[in-house]
Amino acid sequence: MTRLVMVSNRVIDFNAAQQAGGVGVAIYNTLERHSGFWFGWDGRSDETGSPEPKSVTVGGHTTVTEALTEADYNEYYLGYSNSVLWPVFHNRLDLAQFEAGYYARYVEVNARFARHLAPLIQPDDVIWVHDYHLVPMAMELRKLGIDNPIGFFLHIPVGPAQALLAIPENQQIARALGAYDLIGLQTQSDVRNLIDFLQQSVYGRLLPSGRIRVFDSELEIGCFPVGIDPNDFAFGPGEEEALAANDQSEINRIIGIDRLDYTKGLPQKFKAYGKFLEEFPEYRRRIVLSQFAPPTRESVEAYADIKAELESLAGSINGRYGELDWVPINYIHRTIPRGELRDIYRTSRIGLVTPLLDGMNLVAKEYIASQDPKDPGVLILSKFAGSAEQLSDTLLVNPYDLNDIAQCLKLALDMPLSERRSRYDALIKIVRKHDADAWGRSYFAALVKAGHRRAGRSSKPLPEMGRALERLRDAPKKNTTERSPRANVGT
């Protein structure tokens, strides 16, 4: 029987009462429709010896997880993954720490994960690896004789080839990508950038079939935009009225919800809001920017810098424009319970999402999914978020252009109901159509097809994989009243 084996850096705890969204929920939703298990790090980094995997089954879901050693955490996770690959793929070469020599540990942790995973793999399994922490995983599994279809999905954007070529180990990274059968990316622009990189780094050749030849392997690269489960943000009978009764405020809220990351364009957002208050004083006291920015990766220097910058900006804008009874920016550096997100989005007149570069940005989709169809708010979205490729009916802004954001804030606040509704109608259709479920189904189907090619480059499905595709096609869509579990914030 074909099982789906998910592999990601971080595995969510199915038992945890309060977990968050993003990658974890999307993976969980997909895994729900398949037998199989989820393999990866359990979030602990206190091991001194060699960590051993532990298998746990909760309510029919199996996870196989292991801890990291402190050195792994510092060099594989904070080091190579988050101080080299993360900044470079987000086109922030200025923040990349190439000299640190973390690469050896990065490969070592991938090789250890592969050694622990390989004995659990059965001949018909399909293996789906997630994100930049695990680029070498397929290569390490292949060394151990694993010939199953292996796919890779990159949740973050692919910066321009010139940025990726600056990684000292760029050829090793390109060669490792070549060990996968299918690489899934978020946008067409990411697909173009990755092909460009493979061509320049290792003379990858684009074949007439559309696949890429890297050394002696062929891989496929496709665009599979991640979605959310819109049911998580829908309102049931009675919930709407209860919320309205509690929300009697006359002040229009602009909401921002972003991990405190330098890619999210938070200083630009604060400065643009300051500019808006300066240029349109008539809106003062009638508006507030509520920015939730939960902490992540705090021990990486660039994250400490952005924290200090934001605190200073919020302080100076509040100091300059605030009144005894009005504070312009509400800046909250904490994680909010996921159960509260939907109500906060719903009661906010504007969703302001300004990343300088982002793989997808699920907050944009969550904001749309939470709106009241009769009186929806307006999403202002950076044109450099992956979601902008799909959500073209939002107000798209250039996050580097503070004037553009300030003008859009005015436009959004003045937007007539009819226009808000017609934009919302177009956007919610896209959010619903391209939900987490559709993402998982389409990627899995493409990976199974890639598996056919691996098995003798046959155009006929292998019997067991053919059945897996049929089961997937016939499987009922998720129960619409059911909510997904919550995964931890951050990747």
Nearest to 220 by CA among 438, 22, 445: 445
Does position 254 interact with ligand GDG (CB under 6 A)? The reply is no
Does position 465 interact with ligand GDG (CB under 6 A)? The reply is no
Does position 136 interact with ligand GDG (CB under 6 A)? The reply is no
Does position 427 interact with ligand GDG (CB under 6 A)? The reply is no
Does position 347 interact with ligand GDG (CB under 6 A)? The reply is no
Q: Which residue is nearest to ligand GDG (CB)?
A: 21
Nearer to ligand GDG, 270 or 292 (CB): 292
Q: Which of 133, 338, 441, 452 binds ligand GDG (CB under 6 A)?
A: 338
Q: Which of 43, 294, 295, 322 binds ligand GDG (CB under 6 A)?
A: 294
Nearer to ligand GDG, 86 or 276 (CB): 86
Shortest Å distance, C-beta 101 to ligand GDG: 26
Nearer to ligand GDG, 180 or 276 (CB): 180
Shortest Å distance, C-beta 434 to ligand GDG: 12
Active site residue 358: yes
| DSSP structural state of residue 18 | S
Does position 370 interact with ligand GDG (CB under 6 A)? The reply is no
Shortest Å distance, C-beta 33 to ligand GDG: 18
Does position 24 interact with ligand GDG (CB under 6 A)? The reply is no
Q: Report helix, strand or coil for 90.
A: coil
Nearer to ligand GDG, 42 or 131 (CB): 131
Q: Which of 64, 134, 226, 380 binds ligand GDG (CB under 6 A)?
A: 226
Shortest Å distance, C-beta 111 to ligand GDG: 25
Q: Which of 8, 91, 268, 491 binds ligand GDG (CB under 6 A)?
A: 491
From edge to edge, which strands make up the β-sheet containing 150-153? 54-58, 61-66, 36-41, 4-10, 126-130, 150-153, 182-185, 217-223, 212-214, 205-206
Does position 156 interact with ligand GDG (CB under 6 A)? The reply is yes
Q: Which of 336, 396, 413, 426 binds ligand GDG (CB under 6 A)?
A: 336
Does position 335 interact with ligand GDG (CB under 6 A)? The reply is yes
Candidates 29-37, 268-276, 302-310, 337-345 — which segment interacts with ligand GDG by CB under 6 A?
Answer: 337-345
Nearer to ligand GDG, 360 or 395 (CB): 360
203 burial class (0-12, 13-18, 19+ CB within 10 angstroms)? exposed
Does position 412 interact with ligand GDG (CB under 6 A)? The reply is no
Shortest Å distance, C-beta 1 to ligand GDG: 28
Shortest Å distance, C-beta 82 to ligand GDG: 11
Does position 256 interact with ligand GDG (CB under 6 A)? The reply is no
Active site residue 131: no
Does position 306 interact with ligand GDG (CB under 6 A)? The reply is no
Does position 361 interact with ligand GDG (CB under 6 A)? The reply is yes
Query: Which of 358, 393, 435, 437 is an active site residue?
Result: 358
Q: Which residues are catalytic?
A: 155, 358
Interface contacts to ligand GDG, rule CB under 6 A: 20-23, 155-156, 226, 257, 259, 292, 294, 335-338, 341, 358-363, 366, 489-491
